[in-house]
Amino acid sequence: MPDSHLPSQTGPDDALEADLQRLRHLPPAAPTPFLFTRVQARLDATATKTGALPWWLQRPAYLVAVLILLVAINMGAVLHFAYQRTVASTTATTPLDSFASEYQLTPYVVAYE
Protein backbone atom coordinates (compact mmCIF):
# COMPACT_ATOMS: atom_id res chain seq x y z
CA MET A 1 0.00 0.00 0.00
CA PRO A 2 1.48 3.32 -0.98
CA ASP A 3 2.04 5.91 1.65
CA SER A 4 -1.48 6.25 2.95
CA HIS A 5 -0.45 8.71 5.59
CA LEU A 6 0.52 11.28 2.92
CA PRO A 7 -2.22 13.41 1.38
CA SER A 8 -2.99 12.53 -2.25
CA GLN A 9 -1.58 14.96 -4.79
CA THR A 10 -3.51 15.72 -7.95
CA GLY A 11 -1.42 18.22 -9.80
CA PRO A 12 -0.01 18.71 -13.27
CA ASP A 13 2.45 15.84 -12.83
CA ASP A 14 -0.33 13.35 -12.16
CA ALA A 15 -2.35 14.58 -15.12
CA LEU A 16 0.72 14.31 -17.34
CA GLU A 17 1.46 10.82 -16.14
CA ALA A 18 -2.13 9.75 -16.83
CA ASP A 19 -1.91 11.15 -20.39
CA LEU A 20 1.36 9.34 -20.98
CA GLN A 21 -0.13 6.06 -19.78
CA ARG A 22 -2.99 6.42 -22.28
CA LEU A 23 -0.55 7.21 -25.11
CA ARG A 24 1.60 4.16 -24.40
CA HIS A 25 -1.30 1.89 -25.33
CA LEU A 26 -1.77 3.42 -28.82
CA PRO A 27 -0.25 1.59 -31.81
CA PRO A 28 2.81 3.28 -33.35
CA ALA A 29 2.24 5.50 -36.36
CA ALA A 30 3.05 3.97 -39.73
CA PRO A 31 3.77 5.83 -42.98
CA THR A 32 1.33 5.58 -45.83
CA PRO A 33 2.06 2.87 -48.39
CA PHE A 34 4.63 3.75 -51.08
CA LEU A 35 5.78 6.89 -49.22
CA PHE A 36 9.44 6.07 -49.78
CA THR A 37 8.81 5.46 -53.49
CA ARG A 38 7.08 8.83 -53.91
CA VAL A 39 9.79 10.69 -51.99
CA GLN A 40 12.53 9.00 -54.01
CA ALA A 41 10.77 9.84 -57.30
CA ARG A 42 10.45 13.49 -56.31
CA LEU A 43 14.13 13.67 -55.32
CA ASP A 44 15.16 12.09 -58.62
CA ALA A 45 13.01 14.55 -60.59
CA THR A 46 14.54 17.49 -58.75
CA ALA A 47 18.07 16.17 -59.29
CA THR A 48 17.57 15.83 -63.05
CA LYS A 49 16.15 19.35 -63.41
CA THR A 50 18.95 21.18 -61.58
CA GLY A 51 21.83 18.78 -62.12
CA ALA A 52 23.10 20.55 -65.26
CA LEU A 53 24.18 23.72 -63.42
CA PRO A 54 26.95 24.10 -60.84
CA TRP A 55 25.77 24.55 -57.24
CA TRP A 56 26.63 28.26 -57.15
CA LEU A 57 24.52 28.96 -60.24
CA GLN A 58 21.48 27.23 -58.76
CA ARG A 59 21.24 29.96 -56.11
CA PRO A 60 20.38 33.41 -57.54
CA ALA A 61 22.18 35.24 -54.72
CA TYR A 62 25.49 33.59 -55.62
CA LEU A 63 24.98 34.34 -59.30
CA VAL A 64 24.25 38.03 -58.67
CA ALA A 65 27.22 38.33 -56.29
CA VAL A 66 29.59 36.78 -58.84
CA LEU A 67 28.33 39.03 -61.63
CA ILE A 68 28.69 42.17 -59.48
CA LEU A 69 32.20 41.10 -58.51
CA LEU A 70 33.19 40.54 -62.14
CA VAL A 71 31.81 43.91 -63.24
CA ALA A 72 33.59 45.68 -60.36
CA ILE A 73 36.93 44.04 -61.19
CA ASN A 74 36.60 44.91 -64.88
CA MET A 75 35.64 48.51 -64.12
CA GLY A 76 38.62 48.81 -61.79
CA ALA A 77 40.96 47.49 -64.46
CA VAL A 78 39.54 49.84 -67.11
CA LEU A 79 39.84 52.86 -64.84
CA HIS A 80 43.37 51.90 -63.77
CA PHE A 81 44.64 51.53 -67.33
CA ALA A 82 42.83 54.67 -68.50
CA TYR A 83 44.47 56.65 -65.68
CA GLN A 84 47.90 55.22 -66.52
CA ARG A 85 47.44 56.12 -70.17
CA THR A 86 46.54 59.74 -69.39
CA VAL A 87 49.46 60.09 -66.97
CA ALA A 88 51.84 58.54 -69.49
CA SER A 89 50.65 60.76 -72.33
CA THR A 90 51.07 63.98 -70.33
CA THR A 91 54.55 63.25 -68.97
CA ALA A 92 56.22 61.45 -71.88
CA THR A 93 57.87 63.74 -74.39
CA THR A 94 60.28 61.50 -76.28
CA PRO A 95 59.78 57.98 -77.60
CA LEU A 96 62.20 56.68 -75.00
CA ASP A 97 60.21 58.34 -72.21
CA SER A 98 56.95 56.92 -73.51
CA PHE A 99 58.52 53.45 -73.74
CA ALA A 100 59.82 53.68 -70.18
CA SER A 101 56.50 54.90 -68.81
CA GLU A 102 54.50 52.29 -70.69
CA TYR A 103 56.58 49.46 -69.25
CA GLN A 104 56.87 51.24 -65.91
CA LEU A 105 60.64 51.53 -66.08
CA THR A 106 62.31 54.03 -63.82
CA PRO A 107 65.35 55.63 -65.40
CA TYR A 108 68.35 56.14 -63.21
CA VAL A 109 71.37 58.27 -63.84
CA VAL A 110 74.89 57.03 -63.32
CA ALA A 111 77.43 59.76 -62.89
CA TYR A 112 80.68 59.03 -64.71
CA GLU A 113 83.76 60.93 -63.68
Residue 1 has pLDDT above 50, yes or no: no
Residue 54 has pLDDT above 60, yes or no: yes
Angstrom distance (rounded) from CA 105 to CA 88: 12
DSSP secondary structure, 91-111, as one string: H--SHHHHHHHHTT-------
| Residue-level pLDDT at 57 | 73
- For the chain, domain boundaries: 54-104
Judge whether 56 and 62 are in contact, CB under 8 Å: yes
Judge whether 92 and 101 are in contact, CB under 8 Å: yes
Instruction: Tell me the H-state helices in 1-113.
Output: 12-24, 35-50, 55-58, 60-91, 95-102
Query: Per-residue pLDDT tens for 84-110?
Result: 877 766 654 777 777 777 777 776 665
Which of 61, 63, 44 shows the shortest CA–CA distance to 53?
63
Q: How many CB atoms lie within 10 A of CB 35?
A: 10
Query: Per-residue pLDDT tens for 64-82?
Result: 998 999 999 999 999 998 8
The whole-chain average pLDDT of the chain stands at 78
Judge whether 99 and 86 are in contact, CB under 8 Å: no
